[in-house]
Amino acid sequence: MAISRRMLFRQLSAGTAAALGFPSIVRAAGVPSAAGASVEALESGVPVRLHRNENPFGPSPRVLAAIRNETARVAGRYPDGADAALGKALASLHRVYADQVVLGAGSDEVLSMIVSAFATGRSVIAASPTYDRVIERARAVAADVVLVPVRTGGSYDLEAMLSQASARTGLVYICNPNNPTGSVTRRRDLEAFISRLPETTHVVIDEAYHHYVSGSSDYLSFLDAPTTDRRVIVTRSFSTVHGLAGLRIGYAIAQPGVAALIQSKGLSNNLSAVAAVAAMAALQDTDHVRAAFTRNADDRQEFCNQANARMLRTLDSHGNFVLLNTGQPAAEMVAHFRTHGVLVGGPFAGFEKHIRVSLGTAAEMREFWRVWDLMPPNHVMTM
């Protein structure tokens, strides 16, 4: 039987639906931000950004204070001192040597350096879909890029990826949790996979969303429990849980010789001194990380609750985003939301009816569902 999602949702949860039906430009009082503000707002003419997996609450008050207090001191100097201090702090955190740390202007730059170091003129293997910026860079320098579809639930098909590996394979890219599916691939499966790769193949484990993983016994970070395999490179980002996407800072941890080769593919003084100062403060503010994790888990559950009320399916996510099955061509849904001032991600290979929705503030998520409910009653789902 064909049931209007809009009509069914109103029948199941009329009160909630009414709460969602306010104008696009809202001002919701009493919702504190990370900076301590008491008012959360959606400003006129500014799109709701639910397409980039940003932390909508930004950095912690402690980080903001460090930026304000230190900018005047560091702005007139090249960042080598700040770089060195941050590198030592990261080495201490991850129990490695300082020469194993590679810094960059966002993990994008670090990943680009890795691709240049190990994929130029060789083959790259990655999942599909996965983080597209890495694939774009690989296609620019690699001899070929082999994309292997993920499994139905979004995890990696490691056996299929292994079947594509050869002596020509310079690099395998693993995003765990994966973007855009939000799924995790079991650590023991990854270790078995890596052990069977050719000796000349390096593996980059992108842990950009590491801090958001919850309730999965399958997941174990390659930094929290290091491997002895010298071919493994692990990347992290300050753009997600730390809320520093605008300052562009990321890093990799690798064996010294591998790290030196990666570093040689980048530019010197490539990291802003202000970004380094902010990252140092962010590392020290562990309370903020824990609070961001808890808030994200709650927001993710609330998103799934809203989706379930509308009889929509989602993939089980361990990130700060959710892949939502709209039942309609994703390109059309992205256009619908864009028309109403909400930006979402999609479409993605193999998930042509899914959109990726980054978890925003409470007001932003209310606006997302308000725009969803603007779809005509004939937008139906067959039960």
Question: What separation in angstroms does the CA of 244 have from each of 112, 236, 362?
Answer: 19, 12, 20
Q: What is the C-alpha end-to-end distance of the chain, expressed in Å?
A: 6
pLDDT tens-place string over residues 111-167:
999 999 999 999 999 999 999 999 999 999 999 999 999 998 888 999 999 999 999
Amino acid in the structure at residue 241: V
Judge whether 51 and 358 are in contact, CB under 8 Å: yes
The mean-pLDDT minimum among 9-18, 44-53, 248-257 falls in 9-18
Residue partners of 270: CB distance under 8 A and separation at least 6: 103, 104, 105, 109
Q: What is the pTM of this model?
A: 0.86
Polymer length in residues for the chain: 383
pLDDT tens-place string over residues 274-326:
999 999 999 999 999 999 999 999 999 999 999 999 999 999 999 999 999 99
Question: What separation in angstroms does the CA of 233 have from each of 20, 138, 176, 205?
Answer: 45, 16, 13, 6
The mean-pLDDT minimum among 75-84, 273-282, 328-337, 368-377 falls in 75-84
Q: From CA 300, how far away is CA 200, in angstroms rounded? A: 40
Give phi and psi for 221, each to the nearest 5. Answer: -65, 145
The mean-pLDDT minimum among 169-173, 336-340, 373-377 falls in 373-377
Residue 33 has pLDDT above 50, yes or no: no
Taken in order of first residue, the domains within the chain and their CATH numbers are 2-59+288-382 (3.90.1150.10), 61-284 (3.40.640.10)
Judge whether 232 and 260 are in contact, CB under 8 Å: no
pLDDT tens-place string over residues 65-97:
999 998 888 888 888 888 899 999 999 999 999
Give phi and psi for 42, each to the nearest 5. Answer: -110, 115
pLDDT of residue 72: 83
